[in-house]
Structure 1
Amino acid sequence: MAFFNSSASTGPGAAAEKDIEMGDPPTDSISSMSFSGIADYLAVGSWDNSVRIYEVGAGGQSQGKAMYNHEVTSEGPVLSVCWNKEGNKVFSGGADNAGRITMPPIKVVKWIDTPQAQILATGSWDKTIKAYPFCMLYIAPSDFIFSTGTYARQLQSRLSSFRSAVIVRMTLAVDVQFPLMVVGTAERHIQIFNLSNPTTPYKTMVSPLKWQTRVVSCFTASTNSGFAVGSVEGRVAIQYVEDKDSGNNFSFKCHRRDSTPTSKDGAIVFAVNDISFHPVHGTFSTCGADGSIHFWDKDARNRLKSFEAAPGPISTTTFNRNGSIFAYAVSYDWSKGHSGMTPGHPNKLMLHACKDDEVKKRPRKV
């Protein structure tokens, strides 16, 4: 069943080449991007072990403002970046299990602003979720001067115990929209936390999708509590936290290409690499290993826009603070291992100026 109507805008007006390519991109695959919440500063993490910060100006013009590296003596790609609520501090996590962090690779970092404290949550391949009451890196918004250090804050006992680690299966994806935190783990399990009581999962479920979880993304705060799940098999599920809203749960196919009749359903399927919710309208984007991007309205179950396919996978996406800019990376996503990283593979940072008719919700058809 087609849950989404095919009213996407395509053709020259939706062409990716109309978007702006940023200069000075990372030298290896782009793993994560995040906009500051106070200005159009974009943090970018890469498999070249670096974190780069760009300032995006009027008309999409951009310039690099700062860069720092994770451990470079071994393979230590940066896998995730995020900003704090104030938008003046950036955090990163990756596979360099040396230096500040002596643990297995950190798959995801998320900033959580709670009534009790400001904390950094990390999801690791060592099967733990941890919260740390410190900043690893400071950024001055005016001049981007870096200084290292930590600060300590006495937490209430329930948050202090959370710091010692909540044990989960191997973490594959994490997202936070306070007080909701969703953790996608191995074997398709999903753990849902109410961060007002973070030491015990509020709910545990198995993903409605039949294949491995690739990404989870929480609805914006203006909508009912819920999240989207994307899998390696080109499907997305919309899930609400509370049972009373479960009638609104559904899943749909995306990021597929027509194939020969010998394939299972006549299509080649691709992983959903990222899901980003619009901060104002609550609509969302999906991107995939097929090089495509789509904008969706979950309430009307309508596809709002499709971009023309890029010359490589779309590895990660993000909206800026007011949803006027959509950033995406055309970059190898490592879905085919080392053998897929062929010479000349594109590695681009792109900016798309969002129009209202691309991202605003539409009336639901009855």
Structure 2
Amino acid sequence: MSSTPQPTPTSSSNHPLTSTEYTLPNPPQHPISSIVFHPDPSSSSQLSRQFLTSSWDSTVRLYQLADVDANNASSSALSGEAKAQAARQVHSFQHGAPVLDVCWITPTLAASGGIDRRVRLLNLEDGSSTILGKHGSAICRMRYETSTNLLISASWDKTLKLWDPTAVEPRLLKTLTLPEKPLAMDVSPPWTASPLVPKEGVRRRLVVAMAARQVRIYDLEELRRRCDAMSGEDDGEQWDPEQTRESSLKYMVRDVRCNVDGIGFSTSSIEGRIAVDFFDPSSTSQARKYAFKCHRLLVDGIDVVYPVNQMGYHPVHGTFFSLGGDAVLSYWDPVSKKRIRQLPSFPSPLSAAAFSGDGKVLVVASGGVNVEERPSLPNEHGGEEANGEVGGIGKGGEGNVVLWVRENAAAESKPKPPKA
């Protein structure tokens, strides 16, 4: 893929609002850790425009966007300002500490986890929440897989917990011990209703990326079968993963996302790289995997490397976005191994984004924490004092969060046709 140095952003004017983009009023004051839309595009138009955010302000929020159906003349004619005013926050769920992740379970139920170690079930109808259980340390990732009805929580206590969230009495099914601290996790395929998912023969998997470059791949259908076969409480046995691998990336993983068609996954790192991998362990399939550089800026002749904070696959095209500390979002075609396009720079580092279930809308959160330049200027404590942001990127963090709604996501993320 192209690794051409990206232009250095200098101010928010580099990202002017277009006719298909607007910002939401009253966003969280602290950086957003995750964004997730309701996953089923066949749902009602109202439900398909709902999304959840988790934030470092210890809150999960449920938002409702205005209907942006292109076939609805009254909807498409609305100005960005009118759409922003029509969008609303439906509920907010307060937690005891920063929330690191949230996921949908059903149209009326979600789950969240974060620094306070609690797994919470969130009632999206009445705004109430209950504590399902807890870990011994912070919960960094939450995922739900529909066909197996497994809710999975990953914690820095080096465990995965498998939950049954929709039983008459929701409960913990099994605790899996990991060899290292988990850093990222995803289920495959991520969009079960996508037209790219084969009707038969797709295995439901869980990919866990950990410290020390370790990656584990679990067969979720096998995990569910073994959970159902247990009598009573956790039997204490260790269940081996389907595969154990070493990451293709040499530096710490920031995110892992599974392909829409269920054949593989991508990982990103703090060192401005993305690796594309495949589940099939055969030498032929493994020869297809690759990695590439991205999210780098040439500043005063120096190649500055930024973390790739998150990725996300388009449910219809199978392309994916990457976003980073350089305040840039790019779309990539994993088949042609090329960048499709790069959006104009946002005003501050990007922390999270998500496609809607039908792929028509993309919501992006700017205001993530900056990678700061630290020149040799001693401060009063004998350390070094920060003096500006590398590459002229605007300041992120508290008070600088913006939620951007882009309505032309389907068009701008579509693969380019091959040249004749």
Scaled by the length of structure 1, what TM-score is found?
A: 0.81
Matches within 5 A, 1:170-249: 170-178=181-189, 179-198=204-223, 199-220=239-260, 223=261, 225-242=263-280, 243=282, 244-249=284-289
SS of 2:221 mapped into structure 1: coil
* CA-CA distance at 1:349 after TM superposition: 0.9
Give 1:98-113 correspondences, 5 Å limit.
100-101=133-134, 103-113=136-146
- Deviation string, structure 1 residues 48-95 (Cα, Å, up to 9, x no partner): 100110001134541110011111xxxx100001102x4331111000
Matches within 5 A, 1:323-362: 323-333=359-369, 345-362=399-416
Distance in 1, Cα, partners of 2:419 & 2:3: 10
Deviation at 1:112, TM superposition (A): 1.5
Paired with 1:249 and 1:226, the residues of 2 have a C-alpha distance of 9
Return the structure number with greater strand share.
1
Match of 2:115 in 1: 95
| Contact 1:29 1:48 (8 Å CA) reproduced | yes
- Following superposition, the deviation at residue 30 of structure 1 comes to 0.8
Equivalents in 1 of 2:266, 2:16: separation in Å?
25
2:99 counterpart of 1:78: yes
1:63 correspondence with 2:88: yes
Write the distance in 1 (CA, Å) between the matches of 2:317 and 2:242.
Answer: 27
Shift of 1:300: 1.1
- Residue 132 in 1 paired to residue 163 in 2? yes
Deviation at 1:96, TM superposition (A): 0.9
CA contact under 8 A between 1:300 and 1:365: conserved in structure 2? no
Whether contact under 8 Å (2:151, 2:163) holds in the other structure is: yes
Q: Distance in 2 between matches of 1:20 and 1:196?
A: 41
**Which stretch of the first structure deviates more once superposed, 62-71 or 344-353?**
344-353
Deviation at 1:131, TM superposition (A): 0.7
Partner SS for 2:222: coil
**Does the Cα contact within 8 Å between 1:311 and 1:346 map onto a contact in 2?**
no
CA drift at 1:4:
3.3
How far, CA to CA, are the matches of 2:179 and 2:164 in structure 1? 20
Give the C-alpha shift of residue 40 in structure 1. 1.1
Classify the secondary structure of the residue corresponding to 2:140: strand
Asked if the contact 1:224/1:240 (under 8 Å) is kept, the reply is: no
**Cα offset for 1:42?**
0.9
- In the alignment, structure 2 segments of 5+ residues that lack a partner are 69-82, 119-130, 190-203, 224-238, 373-385, 390-394
Identify the residue that residue 17 of structure 2 maps to in structure 1: 17
Distance 2:419 2:179 in 1: 41
- Partner SS, residue 287 of structure 2: helix
Q: What SS does structure 2 have at the residue aligned with 1:305?
A: strand
* Equivalent residue number for residue 139 of structure 1: none
* Equivalent pairs, count: 324
Distance apart, 1:152 and its partner CA: 3.2
Q: Are the aligned partners of 1:36 and 1:88 in contact in 2 as well (CA < 8 Å)?
A: no
Distance 1:230 1:16, change over 3 A: farther
Aligned AA (2:311): I
Tell me the amino acid that sits aligned with residue 113 of structure 2.
G
Per-residue CA distance 1:307-358 (angstroms, 9 max, x = gap) = 111121100110001000001100223766xx89878752111111125442
Given that residues 151 and 164 in structure 2 are in contact (C-alpha distance below 8 angstroms), is that contact kept between their aligned partners in structure 1? yes
In the alignment, is the contact (CA less than 8 A) between 1:16 and 1:309 conserved in 2? no
> Does the aligned pair in 2 maintain the 1:5–1:302 contact within 8 Å?
no
Larger Rg over CA atoms: 2
**Structure 1 counterpart of 2:33:** 31
Aligned equivalents of 1:289, 1:197: Cα separation in 2 = 38
Aligned letter for 1:290? D
The residue type paired with residue 220 of structure 2 is L
Residue 4 of structure 1 aligns with an amino acid whose one-letter code is: S
Question: What amino acid does structure 2 have at the position aligned with 1:152?
Answer: E
Q: Is the 8 A contact 2:369 2:397 kept in 1?
A: no
Cα distance in 2, alignment partners of residues 57 and 133 from structure 1? 33
